[in-house]
């Protein structure tokens, strides 16, 4: 298959709720960046997190192997620092090979979970 | 990082429910335009609100500082006038520097909240 | 403002649930095509509905006045014929002036409503 | 109508929950790729499923007749093999004629269902 996707993606709506209902880890309130790397070569990702009231933080480095998908939980990012809960953020994802990125949140703060998903915005 | 995003964005589906369940302000029924400004310079936004039965209202002026995100609650817009609840509207966002815009609604009219989110539509 | 939007849009996921919970008409299970016409001139829309097992039906003709938004409920379309409930469909929207289209469903078959929304797909 | 759509589409966020509440098959937790083929000619689709920890599987072959829509349930794919539940995946859809693809999930693991939908990402 030919190379598919883009090298820079943006997610403007980031927010990890601070509490949850239901069995973990499936029903833990979380946000994910689902990345598809349909190429033969590994994708080396670099994530930058933007906040409303302080300097951006990053890069967070993640590898998505060739011909694989990885559903990255923002909750699990640790290096250089965790993303605080109940805090507005946004994210830019840069990759050395073209990938496709979709953004999803599961919000289980109430008894019944709510879901959102949208393709991230392809910059180039 | 290079300049990313677009200068004109549109949201066609606007609707702020008039009532809510759950603790405020997190569970107040609301709509947001989440804006990422990944550039060095401040973004000066101008929002115009379109209705089904009267002239558009605006501009609403908002600044998103350089290298910051701002999650704008349509509920909070006051100048030139608040957006009425339970009313269909749409929105065009113009910026003097490129930004990325994502649209989200939390609807808590019932006991369990519902969520939607989608990238806004990039015009140019 | 300059002319914004596109003249042909597609929605691939159409489905109107056949039953509902909660007060009408807000909580009636429904689908909408939210159209923003930011131009000075009226937009004359022509909708064609595609099914899985029979010929397309249309055109459904709708006018969105200049500098107005209209949130079209698929439930309310009558001419040339209503869209059956619990039936897969898709939709192509053609306009004589550029518009922006967003697709939303409220599903209230259960006690708590669920929502989806996404920008329609801009063809040209 | 002129030919509309694209020949390659990607969905990065795939996940079929393993359990459900409510009457089948409407409330079975499921994912769909809703395909609109507005052309005169049949569309011959080839789906490839990507995983996080093993080689891609496919092609899954599906025909969408001309001037029809088909809402494909990933749950129902059998050949060459079913998609396991509770497993991250992604999908690339290739078609010999242009089509439009929208991705939807109904998650009924809890008493009240949650929904997501987004346009798939058009590659070319």
Q: Where are the alpha helices (DSSP H) in B39-102?
A: none
Q: Which of A123, C26, C29 is nearest to B6 (CA)?
A: A123
B68 phi/psi in degrees, rounded to 5: -135, 165
Q: Which of A2, A32, A8, A14 is nearest to A100 (CA)?
A: A8
Round to whole Å and give the CA distance between A70 and A73.
9
- In the predicted structure, residue B111 carries a pLDDT above the cut 70: no
Chain D residues in contact with C19 by the CB 8 A cut-off are none
CB contacts under 8 A, C 18-77 vs B, are 22, 26-27, 32, 34-36, 38, 67-71
Nearest CA in chain B to D113: B114
**In terms of C-beta density within 10 A (0-12 exposed, 13-18 middle, 19 or more buried), how is residue B7 classed?**
middle
Structure token pair of residue B42: 């401040």
CB-nearest to C102 from B12, B56, B123 is B12
Chain D residues in contact with B114 by the CB 8 A cut-off are 114
**Contact D118/B at CB under 8 A:** yes
State pLDDT tens for residues D28-81: 878 899 999 999 999 999 999 999 999 999 999 999 999 999 999 999 999 999
Q: How confident is the model at residue B70 (pLDDT cuts 50, 70, 90)?
A: very high
Alpha-carbon distance A54 to nearest alpha carbon in chain D (angstroms): 30
Nearest CA in chain D to C104: D117
The ipTM value here is 0.91
Chain A residues in contact with C114 by the CB 8 A cut-off are 114
- In the predicted structure, residue B113 carries a pLDDT above the cut 80: no
Comparing B5-19, B51-65, B84-98, the range with the smallest average pLDDT is B5-19
Answer yes or no: do D117 and C105 touch at CB < 8 A: yes
Chain B residues in contact with D118 by the CB 8 A cut-off are 118
State pLDDT tens for residues C90-120: 999 999 999 999 998 877 777 667 777 788 8
Alpha-carbon distance D78 to nearest alpha carbon in chain B (angstroms): 31
Report whether the peptide linkage leading into residue C59 is cis, meaning its omega lies within 30 degrees of zero: yes
DSSP state for residue C56 in the 8-state scheme: -
What are the counts of helices (DSSP H) followed by strands (DSSP E) for chain B?
0, 8
Comparing A101-115, B35-49, B81-95, C35-49, the range with the smallest average pLDDT is A101-115
Beta strands D68-73 and D89-107: pairing type? unpaired
When pLDDT is averaged across residues C8-18 and rounded to a whole number, the result is 89
Alpha-carbon distance A120 to nearest alpha carbon in chain C (angstroms): 12
Round to whole Å and give the CA distance between C44 and B33.
29
């Amino acid at each position: 298959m030919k190379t598919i996707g883009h090298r820079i993606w943006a997610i403007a709506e980031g927010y990890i709720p601070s509490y949850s209902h239901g069995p973990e880890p499936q029903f833990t309130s979380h946000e994910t960046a689902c990345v598809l790397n349909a190429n033969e070569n590994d994708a080396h990702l670099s994530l930058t997190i933007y906040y409303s009231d302080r300097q951006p933080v990053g890069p967070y480095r993640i590898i998505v192997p060739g011909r694989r998908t990885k559903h990255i939980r923002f909750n699990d990012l640790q290096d250089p620092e965790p993303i605080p809960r109940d805090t507005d953020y946004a994210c830019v994802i840069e990759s050395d090979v073209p990938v496709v990125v979709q953004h999803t949140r599961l919000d289980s703060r109430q008894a019944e979970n709510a879901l959102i998903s949208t393709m991230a915005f392809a910059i180039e």
